[in-house]
Amino acid sequence: MRPVRIVIAVVLALAGLVWLGQGLGIIPGSFMSGSTIWAVIGAVCLVAAAAIAAREVRRA
């Protein structure tokens, strides 16, 4: 298992959560708040982070 890839997955997941929250209007105060495109981008980031983490855990 490569720790760098796990760190990348965690950072990507955190960014995805923030973007998803802003896109859904849960986190207000940004130009991204309430914008559907940011919710979609956040969800895609979360899926990508899960795929990276799953691949690394499977390798171990």
pLDDT in tens, the chain (60 residues): 688 999 999 999 999 999 999 999 999 988 888 889 999 999 999 999 999 999 998 887
> What is the number of structural domains in the chain?
1
Q: Which domain holds residue 28?
A: 3-59
What is the structure's pLDDT at 1? 65
What is the structure's pLDDT at 41? 96
Contact (CB, 8 A) for 57 and 1: yes
